[in-house]
């Protein structure tokens, strides 16, 4: 019987036949796919003909089709619907994949062909995109150690293999802590909590086979609990559990894993001739150097901390008025900030939330994409990996563009956070393929499903990533969609958040879950006015995390990683009542594979651009200006990584932005 992962997928849109795939199919499929990919790669390396772009670089783009299919399915289900079998497979696969990649990088004949083409690139008469693909291929090989010799090359293999194992362990430990902890609530503990939170807490209890209601470590439940529960003792218990993820001792403690990763990253950078890992990592980003990143973070830190310090004084006075003496603590901030928001803006999240129905916000994100880019979305019935998922065909002028999948609800089998991934990326050569794109979120499940305003922004954010994938129009998959530097990849996603703030969008789609009535204009104005409320807190918790990430990777690994984290925060003057958005033991961006290692700053780097990019629409006086929308698609969304990102932004805006746009957007300056 043919393994369903390896055969032809005779399904709608050639999506994976999830209904036919069993966990036992993955391991044999991966082994066959790895062997096929290696055979294809060796054939390219050993061919007798002199290297050309077509027989080497172009040919390399055609390898690994089976491997891509197997991994696209596995990574999708392992991230969004894991189980013990899949976790075991991930531990098995990580070192296998690292060894496979290292063997390809170490193929001297293959690298010699690539290097020959690179040295002769000026005489090859390549298109701009082909030249970019050649540059990226050569650079990737060099940065992965292809030019190293002897013991250094072997040590690089060992480091990358170990890092892949450590990243997997870090992720699984974090998921286990988030999945296993919960706090039961007695009926009296529910007093004062909004209905949407009570419904989410009861749904979480049902999922775990518990009676009544529970608080879990899902952000969509624990954060509202910290906002609304008057029980300070329970807030403290919930916050401490949330902050302790990955640092609870025993076999699932992440602190030693994170420290070992820092040691190995520093050694890897040294092997490649860099002074530190951040210098190695940032060389290919828009920021280029750690000094540029530090400058950005410092420019934002000072006004953000000043605002947070002012806010802390106000919140402390509110707490003292409640008869609670002493200092404002981390489990107090959100509670008193919510009370202050209600008082200052006459706005109550419990009043606002019924207007942010999940289905309506999905429609809003689709409608904006239609008005800007002419896209249409039609619900379709296709095999999917979980009952919570739904799918839409994306078309334009009757032509198929993409398949879009949404997986929106939190569950114990899903890792925390929100993300966008492509099961298949757009390309024209060597094979013509349309994208299959997935947005994964962790919203609380209730009936009807209601979002906070921040949840709605997350939905728009991830859909901005999805549009970057859907509207990609390049030749080679290597530079398709979101295959861009990390500090550019967040531009389309953060830019798309701005359309949620457009009043006419909210007037149309922010309708009450029970009455169906549009949000009253007075409430709408309050929501928009409060959109930057508590921005000192939000900016401080983010910049602190970004600064710790940068510091870790610009210095030798410390003896005690948590002591180093404390020292960095103390030197910054971190407010006592604000925690890092991601403390080290749960910093998945940096330690679960390391995609954002030395690069967590990139959200803020992109925000400088997104604030300026949307200002172009403000200057036109029309959030749906056709000419600007066309320019945005033509110069940024369709180009993927086929050109230097700075050139893409200049083509769209005519200039590069300054940090002032970000500070103004966050209302951290007058």
Residue reference for tokens 């990243």: 167
Three-class SS of residue 282?
helix
The total number of residues written for the chain in this structure:
670
Calpha distance 585→344 (Å, rounded): 36
| Helix runs in 322-397, H state only | 330-345, 349-352, 358-373
User: Contact 17/4 with Cβ under 8 angstroms?
Assistant: yes
3-state SS assignment for residue 2: coil
Query: What gap in Å lies between CA 413 and CA 172, rounded to an integer?
Result: 11
Nearest to 195 by CA among 450, 427, 558, 512: 450
The residues with which 185 forms a beta bridge, in sequence order, are: 213
Cα gap 558→564, rounded to integer Å: 7
Sign of torsion over alpha carbons 314, 318, 321, 323: negative
Phi/psi for 409 (5° steps) reads -100, 145
As to burial, measured by CB atoms within 10 angstroms (0-12 exposed, 13-18 middle, 19+ buried), residue 531 is: middle
Q: Which of 40, 178, 462, 477 is catalytic?
A: 462
| Sheet of 399-409, strands arranged across | 376-380, 390-396, 399-409, 436-443, 419-424
> Cβ atoms within 10 A of the Cβ of 14, count?
15
Bond before 430 cis per omega within 30 degrees: yes
Phi, psi of 183 (to 5 degrees): -120, 110
CB 579 within 8 A of CB 566: no
Residue 138: CB partners within 8 Å, gap ≥ 6? 114, 115, 117, 118
Tell me the C-alpha distance between 430 and 196, whole Å: 50
Cβ count near 535 (within 10 Å): 19
Alpha helices in 7-64 (DSSP H): 26-46, 59-61
Cα separation, 586 vs 255, whole angstroms: 9
Give the N- to C-terminal CA distance of the chain in Å, as an integer: 68
**462 an active-site residue?**
yes
Give the C-alpha separation, 27 to 32, whole Å: 9
Give every CB contact of residue 430 below 8 A, 6+ residues apart in sequence.
58, 59, 61, 62
Q: In Å, what is the CA distance from 380 to each residue of 8, 279, 392, 405? A: 21, 46, 5, 10
CA angle, 151 then 104 then 101, to 5°: 90
CB 423 within 8 A of CB 72: yes
- Spell out the residues 6+ positions from residue 478 whose beta carbon is closer than 8 angstroms to its own: 61, 133, 136, 137, 641
Beta strands 436-443 and 399-409, pairing class: parallel
Annotated active-site positions, please?
Answer: 462
């Amino acid at each position: 019987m043919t393994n369903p992962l390896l055969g032809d997928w005779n399904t709608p849109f050639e999506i994976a036949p999830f209904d036919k795939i069993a966990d036992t199919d993955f391991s044999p499929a991966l082994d066959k796919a790895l062997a096929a990919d290696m055979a294809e790669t060796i054939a390219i390396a050993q061919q007798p003909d002199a290297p050309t772009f077509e027989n080497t670089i172009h040919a390399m783009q055609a390898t690994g089709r089976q491997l891509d299919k197997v991994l696209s399915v596995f990574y999708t289900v392992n991230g969004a619907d894991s189980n013990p079998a899949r976790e075991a497979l991930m531990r098995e696969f990580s070192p296998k994949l690292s060894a496979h990649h290292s063997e390809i990088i170490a193929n001297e004949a293959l690298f010699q062909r690539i290097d020959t083409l690179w040295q002769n690139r000026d005489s090859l008469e390549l298109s701009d995109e082909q030249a970019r693909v050649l540059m990226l291929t050569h650079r990737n090989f060099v940065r992965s150690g292809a030019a190293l010799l002897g013991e250094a090359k072997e040590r690089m293999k060992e480091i990358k293999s170990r890092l892949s194992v450590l990243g997997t362990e870090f992720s699984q430990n974090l998921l286990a802590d988030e999945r296993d902890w919960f706090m039961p609530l007695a009926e009296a503990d529910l007093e004062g909590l909004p209905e949407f939170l009570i419904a989410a807490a009861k749904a979480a209890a049902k999922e775990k086979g518990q009676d009544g209601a529970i608080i879990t470590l899902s952000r969509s439940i624990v954060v509202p609990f910290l906002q609304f529960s008057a029980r300070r003792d329970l807030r403290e218990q919930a916050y401490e559990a949330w902050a302790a993820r990955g640092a609870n001792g025993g076999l699932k403690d992440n602190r030693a894993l994170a420290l070992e990763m820092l040691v190995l990253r520093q050694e890897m950078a040294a092997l490649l001739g860099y002074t530190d890992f951040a210098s190695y990592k940032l060389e290919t980003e828009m920021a280029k150097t750690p000094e540029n990143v530090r400058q950005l973070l410092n420019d934002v830190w000072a006004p953000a901390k000043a605002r947070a310090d002012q806010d802390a004084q106000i919140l402390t006075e509110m707490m003292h008025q409640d008869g609670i003496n002493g200092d404002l603590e981390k489990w107090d901030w959100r509670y008193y900030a919510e009370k202050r928001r209600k008082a200052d803006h006459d706005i109550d999240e419990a009043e606002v939330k019924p207007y942010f129905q999940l289905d309506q916000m999905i429609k809003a994100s689709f409608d904006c994409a239609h008005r800007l880019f002419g896209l249409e979305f039609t619900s379709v019935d296709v095999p999917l990996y979980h009952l919570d998922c739904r799918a839409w065909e994306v078309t334009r002028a009757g032509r198929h563009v993409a398949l879009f999948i949404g997986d929106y609800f939190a569950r114990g089998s899903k890792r925390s956070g929100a993300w966008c991934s492509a099961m298949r990326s757009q390309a024209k050569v060597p094979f013509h393929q349309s994208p299959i794109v997935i947005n994964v979120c962790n919203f609380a499940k209730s009936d009807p499903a209601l979002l906070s305003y921040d949840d709605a922004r997350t939905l728009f954010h991830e859909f901005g990533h999805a549009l970057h994938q859907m509207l990609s129009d390049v030749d080679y998959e290597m530079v398709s969609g979101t295959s861009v530097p990390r500090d550019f990849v967040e531009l389309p996603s953060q830019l798309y958040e701005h359309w949620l703030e457009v009043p006419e969008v909210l007037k149309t789609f922010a309708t009450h879950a029970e009455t169906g009535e549009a949000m009253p204009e007075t409430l709408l104005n309050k929501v928009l006015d409060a959109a930057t409320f508590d921005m000192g807190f939000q900016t401080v918790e983010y910049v602190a995390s970004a600064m710790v990430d940068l510091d870790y990777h610009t210095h030798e690994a410390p003896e005690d990683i948590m002591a180093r984290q404390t020292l960095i925060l103390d030197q910054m003057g971190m407010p006592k009542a604000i925690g890092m958005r991601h403390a080290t033991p749960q910093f998945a961006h940096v330690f679960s594979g390391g995609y954002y290692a030395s690069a967590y700053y990139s959200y803020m780097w992109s925000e400088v651009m997104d604030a300026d990019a949307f200002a172009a629409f403000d200057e036109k006086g029309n959030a749906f200006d056709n000419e600007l929308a066309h320019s945005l698609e033509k110069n940024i969304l369709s180009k993927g990584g086929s050109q230097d990102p700075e050139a893409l932004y200049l083509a769209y805006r005519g200039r590069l932005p300054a940090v002032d746009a970000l500070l103004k957007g966050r209302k951290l300056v007058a």
